[in-house]
């Protein structure tokens, strides 16, 4: 029966000229658009053609989405401007981190609650340098893996994926994800960071190491320059590689901006570039 249904769907698709490609989902990180927490970020985002969402900070300069009323105010603002909140970042208040597992569970649970309330499907779990687990040291990575195993079902029940963005190379990213072994824990792939943290060339070659199934979301940035300009990442090649491996998640810009008008203009150009490469 399943084979027959698949055949019928395939025939229908062929009759209609083939299935349409899914729309490209593009967002921008709040903290890169505005320097302080403000609901105006959605009004700014709505001015940019093709921008569909804003990645919010959980904790940012004195406010927190752990507070239900604050989270609801951002949800209402997003709905008002017809925008999504694809992901949350900045889940660690001062003194907490990915490797400080004794205080990490509260951060995960409260951020998962905020993500569910806001309709976000991904939580960016950052950990760089000293706050990144060492995959050659069980005392370093063991507690991190055990806590992620504990929190993965909680995230899954809320429809949320924990996306790890670390200073690890591609092979170690794969080891970490595979050690947790749960679909609600994947990689948040920041190509520029791979190059910045010394993993030369792995921003692109690492895509084949991980495969699309281990990547939940992608950050796109070229410091304060356009993606099409020279930088650490060959973005034309990178986007073509992401398309080749079958990645279909959100592309979230993390480009630095000098002000609102420059943000609108640069993001418009970056969206046009991204769409040309993924066409």
Does the pLDDT of residue 128 top 60, yes or no?
yes
> What value does the mean pLDDT of the chain take?
93
Q: What is the pLDDT of residue 37?
A: 86
Count of CB atoms within 10 A of residue 17's CB?
A: 7
Q: What is the pLDDT of residue 54?
A: 98
Q: What is the pLDDT of residue 20?
A: 62
How many whole angstroms separate alpha carbon 57 and alpha carbon 34?
11
CATH code, residues 25-278: 3.20.20.150
78-108 pLDDT, tens digit per residue, is 999 999 999 999 999 999 999 999 999 999 9
Within 8 A by CB and 6+ apart from 79, the residues are none
Q: What's the N-to-C CA distance of the chain in angstroms?
A: 35
* 62-72 average pLDDT score: 95
**Is the pTM of the predicted complex or chain greater than 0.75?**
yes
Q: What is the pLDDT of residue 36?
A: 84
Domain ranges of the chain: 25-278
Cα-only R_g, the chain: 19
* 180-189 average pLDDT score: 98
2-58 pLDDT, tens digit per residue, is 344 334 334 444 444 455 667 899 999 999 998 888 999 999 999 999 999 999 999
Q: What is the pLDDT of residue 4?
A: 40
Find the range with the poorest average confidence among 42-51, 60-69, 121-130, 228-237: 60-69
Higher-confidence residue of 18 and 160: namely: 160
What are φ and ψ of residue 109, in 5° steps? -65, -45
């Amino acid at each position: 029966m399943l084979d027959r249904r698949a055949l019928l769907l395939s025939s229908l698709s062929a009759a209609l000229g083939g299935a349409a490609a899914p729309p490209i989902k593009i967002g921008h990180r709040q903290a890169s658009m505005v320097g302080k927490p403000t609901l105006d970020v959605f009004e700014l985002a709505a001015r940019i053609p093709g921008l569909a969402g804003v990645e919010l900070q959980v904790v940012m300069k004195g406010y927190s989405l752990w507070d239900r009323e604050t989270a609801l105010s951002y949800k209402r603002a997003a709905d008002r401007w017809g925008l999504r909140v694809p992901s949350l970042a900045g889940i660690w208040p001062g003194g907490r981190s990915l490797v400080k597992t004794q205080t990490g569970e509260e951060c995960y649970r409260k951020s998962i609650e905020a993500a569910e309330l806001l309709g976000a499907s991904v939580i960016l779990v950052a950990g760089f340098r000293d706050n990144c687990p060492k995959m050659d040291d069980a005392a370093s990575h063991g507690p991190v893996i055990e806590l992620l195993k504990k929190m993965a079902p909680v995230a899954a029940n809320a429809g949320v994926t924990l996306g790890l963005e670390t200073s690890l190379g591609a092979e170690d990213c794969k080891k970490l994800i595979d050690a947790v072994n749960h679909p609600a824990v994947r990689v948040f792939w920041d190509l520029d960071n791979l190059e910045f943290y010394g993993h030369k060339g792995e921003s692109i070659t690492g895509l084949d190491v991980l495969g699309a199934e281990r990547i939940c979301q992608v950050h796109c940035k070229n410091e304060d320059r356009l993606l099409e300009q020279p930088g650490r990442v060959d973005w034309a090649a990178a986007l073509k590689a992401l398309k080749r491996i079958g990645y279909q998640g959100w592309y979230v810009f993390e480009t630095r901006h000098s002000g609102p008008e420059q943000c609108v203009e640069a993001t418009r150009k970056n969206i046009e570039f991204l769409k040309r490469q993924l066409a």
